[in-house]
Structure 1
């Protein structure tokens, strides 16, 4: 389904990832473990089509990621507040993608009242949950999660990861999870790539 072949990424003439290759099947959960500052955030942006790269190939079903319209590869970055328009409500941002019902919102601990507020009126953890729900549009086939639960309390973290595993199993959603917490990835993922140090 999703194929990364000989991907090389540089930033400010610094080599971050060199000849990275992997395939991801529907419903597979791939963990990528690397220490802070290694370049996980840049890799996530590249895999989602947000950023260019130096060499290699990224394909979905053998084709490049679409440059226009909805992309079935969705990234929830480590700082999701940067993906919201500060002048619009978070509900507007969510409905731009899709309209989850109250049950779906409850699965990710999203309070419907938050959707009437602008991003600056919510905490980082609240915005992270809305951003995650927004990325889970039914058309999404691959979710890239960059430290998405880092700002959440452990019980909520556990509930959200359990729900993401269910989404993965029931709808064939593939997930790439970036974390420096190898123990977390071992509990969630079907396969793990550990970056060389």
Structure 2
């Protein structure tokens, strides 16, 4: 279980999140829908251990997130190009985490040739799918998906979410979905994060 207790996140003098408490169980799907600039992406970074909260605790199975080994909470950010080394092939970055099977690559609509190219040679939508592939390491227990299909056409979006929902049931994989599409959240998530914003 991923637990967030009394979390406070400030950016300068601005409080983005105040006294945030929630839990996400294995296989559960939670959505976050809010206007731009309200701190959704920052919250995702904090929950994945990419940056520290101002106050509060984030616990995975009652323990702090690991910092010196693979973190079972993986974030696919809104701008995946920032997470790749521009001088390495994207496949090398994926293989640093795990070696995906052909079915997973196919289900994410990834052309295997993309894995031989550098990030600058790929589109944003192509990089988003490779970043998702990297995050789906079998050790991943919780996936934070920040606008991961926003740059894709509707048919590919549908296929990818269908695949992710299957993983939620099979592994089971917990998923926190950050999206500007409220209809998407209502369709795929079992609950929404309800918080008091300041």
Q: Residue 20 of structure 1 corresponds to which residue in structure 2?
A: 20
Q: CA RMSD in A?
A: 1.0
Matching of residues 88-167 of structure 1 within 5 Å: 88-167=88-167
Counterpart residue number, 1:73: 73
Q: Tell me by how many angstroms 1:101 deviates.
A: 1.6
Asked whether the 8 Å contact 1:32–1:195 carries over to 2, the reply is no
Deviations 1:73-108 (A, max 9, x none): 000000000000000000100101111121110010
Which runs of 5 or more residues in structure 2 are unaligned?
none
Matching residue of 1:188: 188
The 1:66/1:18 distance shift into structure 2, 3 A limit, reads same
* Contact 1:86–1:118 (8 Å) recurs in 2: yes
Q: Give, in whole Å, the separation in 2 of the partners of 1:114 and 1:23.
A: 36
- Segments ≥4 residues shifted beyond 2 Å: 194-197
The CA distance in 1 between the partners of 2:72 and 2:180, in whole Å, is 26
Q: CA deviation at 1:53?
A: 1.1
Q: Within 2, Cα distance between the matches of 1:36 and 1:181?
A: 12
Aligned residue for 1:187, secondary structure, equals helix
Distance 2:84 2:72 in 1: 19
Alignment partner, residue 35 of structure 1: 35
Partner secondary structure for residue 155 of structure 1: helix
Q: Shift in Å at residue 54 of structure 1?
A: 1.1
Mapped to 2, the partners of 1:150 and 1:180 lie a distance apart of 9
Show the counterpart of 1:52: 52
Shift of 1:182: 1.2
> Would the aligned equivalents of 1:44 and 1:146 in 2 still touch at CA under 8 Å?
yes
How many angstroms apart in 2 are the aligned matches of 1:61 and 1:183?
31
Q: Secondary structure at the match of 1:91?
A: helix
SS at match of 1:16: strand
- Number of matched residues? 197
What's the secondary structure of 2:193's corresponding residue?
Answer: strand
TM-score, reference length from structure 1: 0.98
| 2:156 pairs with 1:175 | no
